[in-house]
Amino acid sequence: MKRHGSIMISLLIAGIIALAGPAWAQDIKARMRDRLPVIVALKAGGVVGENNQGFLTILKQGTDKKDAVAAENQDRRIIYTAIAKKQGTTPALVGQRRALQIAEKADPGTMIQEADGKWRKK
């Protein structure tokens, strides 16, 4: 399970290293890597899911890990914005495309939001 999460982070960061310089990208990569065990556990427990915009959504209230989810989403937002700028598109479109990639690579049992807004367990 952790392997897939690492692959997803690597895919997300791969393009950004060339966009904004190694130090900036490496900082985000390190933060995401450090949060990975928490995010993987939250997904495995069905507490969070991957929404159709490329971000995490809290599905079960009462988690004490809201800060980790917010930080993950903020780093994803930064990455999507940088990619959008480079590609001449919008961060929203980058996030939607990324959501499709995340859904495809997600571990079994991960909650995924479909394009129509409905949630399903992979």
Name the domain count of the chain. Answer: 1
Q: How confident is the model at residue 24 (pLDDT cuts 50, 70, 90)?
A: confident
- Rounded to the nearest integer, the mean pLDDT of the chain is 87
CA–CA distance, 58 with 50 (Å, rounded to integer):
9
Q: How confident is the model at residue 29 (pLDDT cuts 50, 70, 90)?
A: confident
Structural domain including 102 reads: 2-121
Instruction: Give the model's pLDDT for residue 37.
Output: 95
Instruction: Give the model's pLDDT for residue 25.
Output: 78
CA–CA distance, 4 with 117 (Å, rounded to integer):
24
Q: Indicate whether 42 pLDDT > 60.
A: yes
Classify burial at 88, counting beta carbons within 10 Å of its beta carbon; exposed 0-12, middle 13-18, buried 19 or more. Answer: exposed
Q: Indicate whether 73 pLDDT > 90.
A: yes
Torsion of CA 39, 108, 50, 68, to 10 degrees: -10
Contact 95, 81 (CB under 8 A): no
Q: How confident is the model at residue 1 (pLDDT cuts 50, 70, 90)?
A: very low
Q: Indicate whether 11 pLDDT > 60.
A: no
Long-range contacts of 115-120 (CB under 8 A, 24+ apart): 115/52, 117/52, 119/49, 119/59
Residue 10 in tokens? 């690597």
Q: pTM for the full model?
A: 0.83
| Lowest-confidence pick of 15-24, 71-80, 89-98, 113-122 | 15-24
